Structure 1
Amino acid sequence: MNIIPTAIPDVLIIEPKVFGDSRGFFFEVFNAREFARQTGVATTFVQDNQSRSIKGVLRGLHYQVENTQGKLVRVVQGEIRDVAVDVRKSSPTFGQWVAVQLSANNHRQLWIPPGFAHGFAVLSDAAEFLYKTTDYYNPVAERCIRWDDPDLAIDWGLEQPPLLSDKDKVGSSWAKAELLP
């Protein structure tokens, strides 16, 4: 695998070695030993999640104030713009965000450590999104920051207003969000 740093050093793009020929392709999706060796992150994943969304859907920005989750995310169908925002007040990159295109074609994964809000926008007709988490989902601790907060000014790469869940429509502003120490 190839590790590609982003503008926020804790957030990493993981590019697998893909072996392909006229029959198709093969690649190792995850190897705990190699992940730890190449990223310096020794973690255990406890939950796998999958979602399917149509073009224009935006999910996020979600995070938990307890049971903070690291996420290893990837796309198995379609293409998304994936966004991670540092919500750790003590971090030198607090309030900064990175966006990465993930697709079934580029096979890239994104490591988002605990302490980040996360969201994605679907750019293709549909997308299937898979992710591993380092802690369990805790609905009581879940928080949501508005996708269009002007203080964050995230470029989602959308051509029209997104399709949002009711929860995402009423997300908190960055200024009023409950953030991590």
Structure 2
Amino acid sequence: MVTVAERLGEAMAAQRVSQSGLARAVGATQGSISLILLGKTTNSRLLPKIATFLGVSLAWLLGMADDPSDDAVVPVLPPQVMLPVVLPSENALADMFEGLLLVIDELQPVRERPLDDIARELAQLLPTGMSQLQGRLFEMPRPPRQRTTAAKAKTQALASGDREQQQ
């Protein structure tokens, strides 16, 4: 497999460009170019500028194309962040989701809207709902809470789509 360092060295030799000359041309330090050439940096933000200056495609420089003039599009992947998550209890989450659904339903009845609109609204409200649960992260499991008769009726009406029962 061809490396970025090898491709960069090849392109610099073909253009007869020194490390310091390339660095000046792309607004970098000679040390930055040296790190790429040594293979210590393989994902530099300078690579698109370097490829343009040297007259090669970024795809070729990255080893994703065989022809230096190939205009292949290099897929740009969004950065991924992994965070440990501690979720509240099932009861706390159920309370939060019920509250979010009731808020959304108050704005416009849920049964009259497409599911993807409701899902987007829930996604927008989720951070606020989660912030309200911070004190409930480590509560002991308990049986599901008993809802009032009015809350049960409203929840059942939401589930069945009976608008008159909700009023």
TM range (shorter): under 0.3
Higher relative contact order (CA 8 A, sep 6+): 1
Larger Rg over CA atoms: 2
TM-score for the superposition, normalised by structure 1: 0.18
- The structure with the largest helix share of the pair is 2
